[in-house]
Structure 1
Amino acid sequence: MRGRIIVLKHNTPQEPSTLDRLKEAIRCKRPGLLRRGVVLQNDNATPHSANLTQQWLQRYGWEILRHPAHSPDLAPSDFHLFGPLKHHLGGMASETEDDLISELRNWFDNLDVDFFRVGINSLLSCWQKCIDLHGDYVEK
């Protein structure tokens, strides 16, 4: 499964167009990933479990890595991404939304591949803690 997990986390309705854009981005950036199969982690929010979303996932054969509800500690974006991002943006004053977007793009563009690899790999130990605690909240 290594190298196949994609974490999807957002709070708006997950329409096929969102997944279509994700699929296209994967096709462009990691074409082999689509052939090997995608494992999608989501937080089981209502938009992620909607019939429309499930039909799309079945049509393309994407596997779902089930995620206990209300467990942000199992989402790499929460335990690995937001801390460093908050540190990077700390004290920064943006004049406009465009300035902030530009700074975010710059930060993401300059992250080393290992940053993401470490985040995904650390997911394994977080999941093991969740299993050991029988699905209970995993503390850092």
Structure 2
Amino acid sequence: MNQLLTVFNSSTIFSKIDLRGAYNLLRIKEGDEHLTAFRAKYGSYEYFVMPFGLNNSPASFQNLVNDIFADFLDIFVVVYLDDIMVFSSSEKEHVKHVASVLQRLRDNNLFAKASKCVFHASSVEYLGYVVSSEGLKMDS
């Protein structure tokens, strides 16, 4: 988290976007579905998308979002799994940044959970911290 202090350095406006169904958006590699097989009362089943709980689910999803936002990371976006933080130093700049992030999500068929998102705020809760122009504080 200390490295985020330098990333958020001159930022005064923040948005937080929470993705919906994070791991379930990752398709299992075709031909590898049998590796996710499980047996239930009425038969055997295989996942076609990444289920929550597989060892590599978090790393695979983090890799996906890092690839999607590679050219935005630490410039105006920080991403940890399904939590996206957009930060800017002006309202005008922030509108462009948020629009770019939302477009990138749309282009990659990722969707936000609106009830957990916060847009254009002077401070937001992110990963157990309150982020504002004053820096990071522990969320109480």
Taking structure 2 as the reference length, the TM-score comes to 0.26
Higher relative contact order (CA 8 A, sep 6+): 2
Choose 1 or 2 for highest CA Rg: 2
Task: Write 1 or 2 for the structure with the bigger share of strand.
Answer: 2
